[in-house]
Amino acid sequence: DAKTTQPPSMDCAEGRAANLPCNHSTISGNEYVYWYRQIHSQGPQYIIHGLKNNETNEMASLIITEDRKSSTLILPHATLRDTAVYYCIVSGNTPLVFGKGTRLSVIA
Amino acid sequence: ETGVTQSPTHLIKTRGQQVTLRCSSQSGHNTVSWYQQALGQGPQFIFQYYREEENGRGNFPPRFSGLQFPNYSSELNVNALELDDSALYLCASSPMVRGATGELFFGEGSRLTVL
């Protein structure tokens, strides 16, 4: 079973920041937080991952709380092409276990 | 694009038949994982291969089997197909990274319909 809890769906206005929350209260010290997204009819796409510190890349920012029990994925300026299902996954050196994710709808 | 290619993209089989799905990994990646994604669900882990050996398996019966070849390409075989096997089958390649699963590079999937 997935070790994370995410809201089933969220809406975001185009051009605004999309903040996607994830709870992972049972995360272990050696487990990373991964985010993937899946656009309709495509394979999942890696976005970002982190262990303790906040991370940023060209796609998104990942904010992990100090106790590591939750995190937030931030898409700074959402576009219509960011409409997708977003998966938050915690994993050490084990296969990724996907839950049902959050369906993000970006609205014009 | 991820550099991971899967074939065929779509196929239809009947119950009881056998199917083979193929995956070509991204260059330099020695690990391949297979996932099954039913409609409306997240991908479910089937198994992983590292350097031609099975390196982990999810909760799938033995009629789901796989191979990894010396060039790190891979096959997923499913025998005695059942209606519930209808799904999108995803292949993902990655370099083996000590201590972390690392980034997986997914293909576009093979959509199997069992009638």
Per-position pLDDT tens, chain B of length 115: 778 999 999 999 999 999 999 999 988 888 899 999 999 899 999 999 988 899 889 999 999 999 999 988 999 999 999 999 999 999 999 886 655 567 899 999 999 999 9
User: In a 3-state reduction of DSSP, which class is residue A88?
Assistant: strand
Convert the pLDDT of each residue in A20-36 to its tens digit. 999 999 999 889 999 99
Over the stretch A50-96, which tens digit does the pLDDT of each residue have?
999 899 999 999 999 999 999 999 999 999 999 999 999 998 877 88
What are B's interface residues with A at a Cβ cutoff of 8 A?
A: 2, 4, 33, 35, 41-45, 48, 56, 58, 90, 92, 98-101, 103-109
How many CB pairs below 8 Å do chains A and B form together? 59
Q: How many CB atoms are closer than 10 A to CB B105?
A: 22
For residue B20, CA distances in Å to A54, A65, B56, B81, B104 come to 42, 44, 20, 11, 22
The alpha carbon torsion through A58, A62, A63, A64 (nearest 10 deg) reads: -150
Instruction: Say if the Cβ atoms of A96 and B45 lie within 8 Å.
Output: yes
Question: pLDDT band at residue A98, thresholds of 50, 70 and 90?
Answer: very high
Element (H, E) at A54: none
How long, in residues, is chain A? Answer: 108
Given an 8 Å threshold on Cβ–Cβ distance, is B101 in contact with A92? yes
| CB–CB contact A96 B99 (8 Å) | no
Please spell the DSSP secondary structure of B21-74, one letter per residue.
EEEEPPTT--EEEEEEE-TTS--EEEEEEETTEEEEE-S--TTEEEEE-TTS-E
- The residues pairing with A74 across neighbouring beta strands, listed in sequence order, are A19, A61
DSSP code at position A14: T
Q: What's the rounded Cα separation, in Å, for the pair A101 and A86?
A: 5
Contact with chain B for residue A93, Cβ under 8 A: yes
Q: Is A42 on the interface with B (CB under 8 A)?
A: yes
| Residue B88: count of CB within 10 angstroms of its CB | 21
Shortest alpha-carbon distance between residue A48 and chain B (Å): 8
In the numeric block, which tokens belong to residue A81?
């092409």
Pairwise CB contact (< 8 Å): A98 & B42: yes
One-letter amino acid for residue B100 of the chain: A
Q: Are B4 and B106 in contact (CB under 8 A)?
A: yes
Beta carbons of B103 and A46 less than 8 Å apart? yes
Average pLDDT over residues A3-31: 95
A6: closest CA of chain B, how far (Å): 13
- Residue B97 per-residue DSSP state: B
**Cα distance between residue B45 and residue B64, in whole Å:** 12
Q: Which residues of B touch A100 (CB under 8 A)?
A: 41-42
Selecting from A2, A43, A99 the residue whose C-beta is nearest the C-beta of B106 gives A43
Contact B76, B68 (CB under 8 A): no
- Closest Cβ opposite residue B41 in set A32, A97, A100: A100
Q: Is A3 on the interface with B (CB under 8 A)?
A: no
